[in-house]
Amino acid sequence: MAICHHHHPTFLTHHPFQPTATTLSHLHLHIRLPSSFRCNLSVTSPPKLEPEPVYTSVKSFAPATVANLGPGFDFLGCAVDGIGDFVTLKVDPQTPPGEISISDITGTGNSAKKLSKNPNWNCAGIAAISVMKMLNIRSVGLSLELEKGLPLGSGLGSSAASAAAAAVAVNELFGGKLPESELVLAGLESEAKVSGYHADNIAPAIMGGFVLVRSYDPLELISLRFPSDKNLCFVLVNPEFEAPTKKMRAALPTEISMSQHIWNSSQAGALVAAVLQGDLVGLGKALSSDKIVEPKRAPLIPGMEEVKRAALEAGAFGCTISGAGPTAVAIVDDEEKGRAIGEKMVEAFMAGGNLKAQAMVKKLDRVGARLVSSSSR
């Protein structure tokens, strides 16, 4: 247990990964706070009391996410409104105290067949267990139902949405004791076991909006506030093609040139500036300008290069691969225009890659994972 200091208030925080004391002593997180707060292990605190459940059941939702955003590989991402995963969590006398069981998995595509109901091998289960450990839950057993609204291997943060929804559900069932920073760590533990140690999906899934991962060791996150008076729309076009994250990561170069580094760094900086200024034209330009990751991944997604060209020609401000793909994401400032661009992108997937695809236009999710209903009986 560590006591964390941030100006006036005192925060309690705890790290689920059990790293070295040296690593923990330098842990500080930028989570909607004006400056960092430090954890110092030299101060001891009394054992954490186990909270009582405040509900008998809760239902939570976590949104889809677009990671990388072009030049921001593994350090930039944002949440997308209107699509995501649901988790229903109940106090279950049939589940042993301190444990969690997964009773049902339903939803999009073949999720139920492909996902394990063993909580130790399921994104939602891993995150839920992590939060239970953080809260010191020992005398209550829980059962979890996962409703997948996101297809697997789509590049829309499917695993992160499951983890985020589960983490929030457990926390809310016991009164919302943990801050977002702890929930991100729980979700990151899940991501690390399933798709790799990267927070550009799980952080925005929990926090909402745009998030910059400034550092992984120590984990440091910065929320980027997109102006509320600007209308940002995402055109998401998902082809019938699975692009597993591990396979898409294997395609990446192990070394890059100094000129590539300079270019991508400048584009990532420009993207952050565009987000903060609400500059959609600048955002689109930077989004489309990755010279390191996208050139290696695009050829692995049939028709992707044609889809990007079609989006830009149809009036999109920018277009790139969402996460590891195969979903293509374009940005515009108008829903009707977005639907027209989406149609052109769908046509390009068929013409260039012989793939059927579906298009949808969604807005920025500024809230992140949240409780949608609860019951005390």
Partner residues linked to 105 by β-bridges: 146
The reported pLDDT for the residue numbered 7 is: 39
**C-alpha to C-alpha distances, 54 to 74, 167, 170, 172, 196, nearest whole angstrom:** 37, 16, 11, 8, 34
257 and 348 in a single domain? The answer is yes
Spatial strand order in the sheet of 233-239:
318-321, 328-332, 233-239, 357-363
Is the pLDDT at 222 greater than 90? The verdict is: yes
Q: Which of 323, 336, 315, 322 is nearest to 237 (CA)?
A: 322
The reported pLDDT for the residue numbered 46 is: 53
Taking CB atoms within 8 Å and a gap of at least 24, the contacts of 17-25 are 17/185, 17/189, 23/217, 23/218
186 and 250 in a single domain? The answer is no
Domain extent for 332: 233-363
Determine, yes or no, domain membership for 190.
yes
Determine, yes or no, domain membership for 338.
yes
- Distance from C-alpha of 307 to C-alpha of 377, rounded to nearest angstrom: 51
Determine, yes or no, domain membership for 34.
no
CA atoms within 13 A on the CB side of 113: 4
Structural element, H or E, at residue 77? strand 76-91
239 and 102 in a single domain? The answer is no
- Higher per-residue pLDDT: 53 or 191: 53
167 and 252 in a single domain? The answer is no
Residue 84 · residue 236 · CB < 8 Å? no
The reported pLDDT for the residue numbered 82 is: 94
Instruction: Give pLDDT tens digits for 13-60.
Output: 333 444 433 333 333 444 443 333 333 444 444 556 899 999 999 999
- Distance from C-alpha of 201 to C-alpha of 362, rounded to nearest angstrom: 17
256 and 281 in a single domain? The answer is yes
220 and 241 in a single domain? The answer is no
For the segment 5-13, the average pLDDT, to the nearest whole number, is 37
For residue 369, count other CB atoms closer than 10 A to its CB: 33
Partner residues linked to 56 by β-bridges: none
87 and 191 in a single domain? The answer is yes
The reported pLDDT for the residue numbered 15 is: 39
For the segment 129-139, the average pLDDT, to the nearest whole number, is 96
**pLDDT confidence of 145, banded at 50, 70, 90?**
very high
With a CB cutoff of 8 Å and minimum separation 6, the contacts of 175 are 51, 52, 54
Determine, yes or no, domain membership for 345.
yes
Pairing of strands 100-107, 142-148: parallel
193 and 62 in a single domain? The answer is yes
Instruction: Give pLDDT tens digits for 310-345.
Output: 999 999 999 999 999 999 999 999 999 999 999 999
215 and 249 in a single domain? The answer is no
79 and 203 in a single domain? The answer is yes
Determine, yes or no, domain membership for 332.
yes
The reported pLDDT for the residue numbered 198 is: 87
**pLDDT confidence of 377, banded at 50, 70, 90?**
low
The reported pLDDT for the residue numbered 27 is: 39
Choosing from 88, 245, 320, 327, the catalytic residue is 245
Please list the alpha-helical segments (H only) found in the chain.
Answer: 21-25, 111-114, 123-135, 158-173, 180-194, 202-207, 245-250, 258-277, 280-287, 294-297, 304-313, 335-353
The reported pLDDT for the residue numbered 47 is: 55
Q: Which two tokens stand for residue 327?
A: 């979903």
Determine, yes or no, domain membership for 341.
yes
Active site includes 191?
A: yes
Count structural domains, the chain.
2
214 and 65 in a single domain? The answer is yes
Residue 307 · residue 348 · CB < 8 Å? yes
The reported pLDDT for the residue numbered 267 is: 98
Residue 353 · residue 302 · CB < 8 Å? yes
Is the pLDDT at 228 greater than 80? The verdict is: yes
Q: Which two tokens stand for residue 276?
A: 């903060």
Determine, yes or no, domain membership for 102.
yes
Choosing from 189, 191, 220, 294, the catalytic residue is 191
Percent of the chain with pLDDT strictly greater than 90: 76
264 and 359 in a single domain? The answer is yes
- Say which CATH number the domain at 255 has: 3.30.70.890
Determine, yes or no, domain membership for 352.
yes
With a CB cutoff of 8 Å and minimum separation 6, the contacts of 188 are 197, 199, 202, 219
The reported pLDDT for the residue numbered 167 is: 98
- CA-based radius of gyration for the chain: 21
Active site includes 245?
A: yes
For the segment 337-356, the average pLDDT, to the nearest whole number, is 98
**pLDDT confidence of 98, banded at 50, 70, 90?**
very high
Average pLDDT, the chain: 88
